[in-house]
A and B are shown apart, each in its own frame.
Chain A
Amino acid sequence: MTSGTLRIAPARLEILLADYAREVGRRRRQSLLVLAILAILIAIAARLGEVDLNELFEHISNFTSYFSRILPKLSLAHFGADVADWYWNVGGWLKLLFDTIMIAYLGTLIGAGGAFAAAFFAAANLAPSHLSRWGVKRLFEFCRTVPDLVFALMFVSAFGLGPLAGVLAIAIHSFGTLGKLFTEALENIDMKPVEGVRSTGSRFMETMRFGALPQVMSGFASYALLRFEINVRSGSVVGMVGAGGIGQDLFVAIRKFYYTDVSAILLMIIVCVAILDMVTERIRHRLSGQGGAP
């Protein structure tokens, strides 16, 4: 076997090995430094976060028993009756779940509409002025960083309990996130059609309508659909602070330890989101097939 191997002169080999050792040593030191910094951060965080591992191990049985308790007791013998018992309030929950979907729909629609109008003023390549661009971008950032639950809490105080607060909270958050995505889509368009339309002497509106819009429309629709699915999920959460939908019932079920209700409602939400996920993904694929959208 040794006949085929390449021979390296010992002196050269020594240099190569030394280089290798130095390189490995440098990377080891770097990794150790990163690990040390991380360890310090963890130590600080563990103090601030009141992490008590003993507590975790003491209560870990709670965790597993929690899950065994929220699972329904189904037996094959009287399966139908057991399921009926588990989903004793299926009509009411379905109505609330539909409420949540409607809240998400309206919120997405309003947010996407607003983001659609505003994005043209935020895109670096299209915005009529630097000032509008800066202002709209900061507005998007604000709407997206302040958690939707905070908006929901404030709107519940202002508009009273009910779906209106949920719709508005979701609308504002969608406005922020979709605005950012729409702006990025607009910034990536081909500028030649825009210049072409502009060279014919058209105004801002016409330039956007015929130069920019056809390039981004299907992308926008696909982002909005994706957002809709996310909003159904967060719509079930804003309900917890009284902003309508299934969240309220879920909150009560968790807080009051109606164990099997928790699993029943959660399962409904998961299935619903999964179905919406499949449907919107199909529509999005068709949309992106039509235009050059993501």
Chain B
Amino acid sequence: MSIHRPLSPEDVRAVLDRHFGLFSYSPLHLGSTIAALLGIGAFTVFAVWWLAIPFSQIGPGLAALARFIVLMFPPSSGGHLSLLLKAMGETLAIALLGTLMASILAFPISFLAAANTSLHPVIRFAVRRGLDTIRGIDTLIWALVFVGVVGLGPFAGILAIAVSDVGALGKLFSEAIESADERAREAVLASGGTQLLAVRFGLLPQILPIIAGQILYYFESNVRSATIIGIVGAGGIGLLLSEQIRTYDFDQVAFVVVMILVTVAMIDWVSGKLRFAIIGRRAIA
């Protein structure tokens, strides 16, 4: 049973008074919103002009894309399923070994980059800037470099992922070390332990679960990156995929893409389970 009582003018006035700011559009606020939108619009027009986006190509391009998509059905392995499976296995292997190598390298480095365990502020600064630089370069560029160093093949991909992830994992590990509770370390030191023992028994138990979660997370993301580094010849399924796109074998492209999607979903599922088992239902920053 609702009571239908028309609002009296006093009620309306009282409500309006209480929420004055919400019902009055200040010209300044409105003006800044319009200016921001106009700015974005103008910059967009400028960007389109600067890049000389060919609008005449959009129509034929979409038509070509539609043809590609029609060609994708039904997806087919093109008769070399075992080759594709092996390439996919290679991709997973690259991701696994790359992530592990990166973790092993990043672990000691992160102690030098963390404020509470570093030897000297200068060392800390240098290590951090070094990690930043490594992170600034994309995995694919590292892959190109390593193809030049160790030749074509999955080994170049492993090294590329290892090096580019040292930057990211080193930073994340050092943040985990910095946010650890100092008291456990102090307790070990107070009971007569050495610095090394303090790290082993005071620090490691706190950070290992976090680090393990981050490693798993990076493994997931590396499975994705490992699918593309093959495009520059660094092993994995990317090489086959780029060849298939270049030779217009779109039914095989679709097959490989579905394979990647399924594999990534499976890895995400397994590693998500493991992560939650290790650190509980908590997001990783």
Tell me if B261 and A236 are in contact (CB < 8 A).
no
| Complex-state Cα separation, A10 to B132, whole angstroms | 56
| Complex-state Cα separation, A142 to B265, whole angstroms | 11
Tell me if A237 and B61 are in contact (CB < 8 A).
no
| Complex-state Cα separation, A49 to B89, whole angstroms | 9
Tell me if A154 and B154 are in contact (CB < 8 A).
no
Main secondary structure of the interface of A (DSSP, over half): helix
Tell me if B100 and A42 are in contact (CB < 8 A).
yes
Contact A59 to B150, CB < 8 A, known contacts A149-B140, A240-B232: yes
Tell me if A62 and B224 are in contact (CB < 8 A).
no
B221 to chain A, nearest CB (A): 11
Tell me if B61 and A159 are in contact (CB < 8 A).
yes
Contacts of A102 in B (CB 8 A): 47, 50-51
Chain A, 27-75, CB within 8 A of any chain B CB? 41-42, 44-52, 55-56, 59, 62-63, 66
Q: Mark A10-38, 1 if CB is under 8 A from B, else 0.
A: 00000000000000000000000000000
Contacts of B231 in A (CB 8 A): 149, 153, 241
Is the C-beta of B264 less than 8 angstroms from some C-beta in chain A? yes
| Complex-state Cα separation, A46 to B54, whole angstroms | 47
Tell me if B155 and A160 are in contact (CB < 8 A).
no
Is the C-beta of A117 less than 8 angstroms from some C-beta in chain B? no
Tell me if B245 and A154 are in contact (CB < 8 A).
yes
Is the C-beta of B57 less than 8 angstroms from some C-beta in chain A? yes
B147 to chain A, nearest CB (A): 9
Tell me if B228 and A150 are in contact (CB < 8 A).
yes
A43 to chain B, nearest CB (A): 10
Is the C-beta of B197 less than 8 angstroms from some C-beta in chain A? no
Tell me if A164 and B137 are in contact (CB < 8 A).
no
A67 to chain B, nearest CB (A): 9
Comparing B76-84, B90-98, B106-114, B179-187, the segment that makes contact with chain A is B90-98
Chain A, 237-258, CB within 8 A of any chain B CB? 237, 240-241, 244, 250-251, 254-255, 257
Q: Mark A68-88, 1 if CB is under 8 A from B, else 0.
A: 000000000000000000000
| Complex-state Cα separation, A137 to B238, whole angstroms | 25
Q: Mark A130-162, 1 if CB is under 8 A from B, else 0.
A: 000000000001100111011001110111101
Is the C-beta of A273 less than 8 angstroms from some C-beta in chain B? yes
| Complex-state Cα separation, A24 to B232, whole angstroms | 48
The contact size tier of chain B is 35 or more
Residue in B86, B92, B145 whose CB lies within 8 Å of A45 = B92
Contacts of B138 in A (CB 8 A): 233-234, 236-237
Main secondary structure of the interface of B (DSSP, over half): helix
Is the C-beta of B35 less than 8 angstroms from some C-beta in chain A? no
B132 to chain A, nearest CB (A): 8
Is the C-beta of A182 less than 8 angstroms from some C-beta in chain B? no
Residue in B136, B224, B225 whose CB lies within 8 Å of A273 = B136
| Complex-state Cα separation, A104 to B46, whole angstroms | 14
Is the C-beta of B20 less than 8 angstroms from some C-beta in chain A? no
Tell me if A63 and B149 are in contact (CB < 8 A).
yes
Write the chain A residue with the least CB distance to B67: A158
Contacts of B227 in A (CB 8 A): 147
Residue in A49, A50, A146, A153 whose CB lies within 8 Å of B261 = A146
Contact A49 to B94, CB < 8 A, known contacts A146-B260, A159-B58: yes
Residue in B93, B141, B145 whose CB lies within 8 Å of A48 = B93
| Complex-state Cα separation, A273 to B141, whole angstroms | 15
The contact size tier of chain A is 35 or more
Q: Mark B32-63, 1 if CB is under 8 A from A, else 0.
A: 00000000100110011011111001100110
Chain B, 11-43, CB within 8 A of any chain A CB? 40, 43
| Complex-state Cα separation, A74 to B150, whole angstroms | 28
Tell me if A147 and B224 are in contact (CB < 8 A).
yes
Tell me if B148 and A257 are in contact (CB < 8 A).
yes
Is the C-beta of B133 less than 8 angstroms from some C-beta in chain A? yes
Contacts of A158 in B (CB 8 A): 61-62, 64-65, 68
Which 5 residue pairs are nearest across A and B when measured between Cβ atoms? A45-B93, A159-B61, A48-B93, A270-B136, A49-B93
Known A-B contacts: A51-B154, A141-B261. Give 17 more (CB < 8 A): A50-B155, A56-B159, A106-B53, A109-B40, A109-B44, A149-B231, A154-B68, A157-B245, A159-B64, A163-B52, A164-B51, A164-B54, A164-B61, A240-B232, A254-B148, A266-B137, A274-B132
Interface, chain B (partner A; CB < 8 A): 40, 43-44, 47-48, 50-54, 57-58, 61-62, 64-65, 68, 86, 89-90, 92-94, 96-97, 100, 132-133, 136-138, 140-141, 144-146, 148-151, 153-155, 157-159, 224-225, 227-228, 231-232, 235, 238, 241-242, 245-246, 248, 253, 257, 260-261, 264-265
- Sample (11) of A-B pairs whose CB atoms are under 8 Å apart: A50-B235, A56-B155, A63-B146, A66-B148, A102-B50, A105-B43, A150-B241, A154-B253, A163-B51, A250-B141, A270-B133
Interface, chain A (partner B; CB < 8 A): 41-42, 44-52, 55-56, 59, 62-63, 66, 98-99, 102-103, 105-106, 109, 141-142, 145-147, 149-150, 153-155, 157-160, 162-164, 167, 233-234, 236-237, 240-241, 244, 250-251, 254-255, 257, 266, 269-270, 273-274
